[in-house]
Structure 1
Amino acid sequence: MPPHPIVVVAHDLRSAYNVGSIFRTADSAGLAGVVLTGFTATPDHRGVAKTALGAEDAVSWRHVEDVHDAIAELRAEGYTIAALERLPEAVGLGDVPAEAFPLALVLGNEVHGVPPDVLDAADLVVGLPQYGVKASLNVSVAFGVAAYGLVARARALRGSG
């Protein structure tokens, strides 16, 4: 099966273990690829390899130092840029419009989230409803929820449920 029209951009993630988990989820969900930006660890880092369990070899990936260069490259490739963040204007996964696909989902740093300048560069913000006191998810967990929600949305829009 061809990959789903979604790539993930992992920007300035501090934990190599989160990066490895993102690779595993991207592979499992059948995403088109992973883009690592800033100081996010690459698959040659021991922690990434330890948690990715070989998924880093199954998923197309690239490292682009500057996140804005990565956004420009992805936009030129036809991707809509979506940031995953908790903001009032965030669109729910089931409400992402058809024209947003193919979609590049930008994840931000575990502590600071997606930086304001990257939010400004995004075409839309996608959010997850959160009901608890902390209203906080680990970045790799949030990505897993978002990845599968976006795959379901893309498949529903294509009529392949």
Structure 2
Amino acid sequence: MRKLTMQELNRLPVADFKATPKSPVVLVLDNVRSLHNVGAVFRTADAFALEKIYLCGVTGQPPHREITKTALGSTESVAWEHTATTLEAVQRLKAAGYQLVAVEQTTGSVLLPQFQPRPGHPLALVLGNEVFGVADEILELCNVSIEIPQLGTKHSLNVSVAAGVVLWDILTKLDVFDPHGQE
């Protein structure tokens, strides 16, 4: 076993990446304060070829040194948009037919392994503030809330880590890619 070389990874240039079909998923960041988290989410969105990221409210926007440091260039490859409020983004996505899914621990949340995305329907994952989570007014508009099962004492994951876990699970269920890297 050996690590693959950069040439063997067959990475697309940014212009080619932008022209390729995207996964039918957008991320909505609801007032995420950490610029490092924002950068990490950009990198994850690039890895999974997501459609777009909505940066809402106080969520930082590129270009910013701290975002760029963590994003490793993915702010150039991933489409993004800033909205003054999360409500604005969520209402627009709902009107466009997106299934709105909050990643949040709620009284009615569905555990991630039991969640089944609707094939052929676009999905918007809403990820909340590092302290307060997804705002209550946004939860009310979501179709469902999903929760990542956890075994530790904190019952909390970093927002960028949660994004990666949820995206891997959902995109696998949507058969977007083969988990062994062969299409």
Please give the TM-score of this superposition, normalised by the length of structure 1.
Answer: 0.91
* Correspondence for 2:101 among 67, 79, 82: 82
Q: How far is 1:99 from its partner?
A: 5.9
Give the secondary-structure state (helix, strand or coil) at the position aligned to 1:22: helix
Which of 13, 24, 33 is equivalent to 1:5? Answer: 24
Written as runs of structure 1 = structure 2, the 5 A alignment for 1:44-55 is 44-55=63-74
Residue pairs, 1:1-161, within 5 angstroms = 1-94=20-113, 95-98=115-118, 101-155=121-175
Distance (whole Å) between structure 1 residues aligned to residue 132 and residue 68 of structure 2? 25
Percent identity among equivalent residues? 41
- Note the C-alpha offset of 1:45: 1.7
CA deviations 1:29-73 (Å, max 9, x no partner) are 111110000000001121111110110111111001111110111
Q: Which aligned segments of 4 or more residues in structure 1 are displaced greater than 6 angstroms? A: none
Letter matched to residue 102 of structure 1: P
5+ residue gaps, structure 1: none
Structure 1 CA distance for aligned equivalents of residues 65 and 97 of structure 2 = 33
Structure 2 residue identity aligned to 1:54 = G
Where is the helix percentage greater, Structure 1 or Structure 2? 1
After alignment, is 107-116 or 71-80 more displaced?
Answer: 71-80
The Cα RMSD (Å) is: 1.9
Measured in 1, the distance between the counterparts of 2:143 and 2:134 equals 14
TM-score by length of 2: 0.80
Which protein has the larger Cα radius of gyration, Structure 1 or Structure 2? 2
Greater relative contact order: 1 or 2 (C-alpha under 8 angstroms, separation 6 or more)?
1
Please give the per-residue CA displacement for 1:81-129, whole angstroms capped at 9, x wherever unaligned.
Answer: 1100012422233422426831100000001111111111111111110
Q: Secondary structure at the match of 1:51?
A: helix
Distance in 2 separating the partners of 1:36 and 1:59: 12
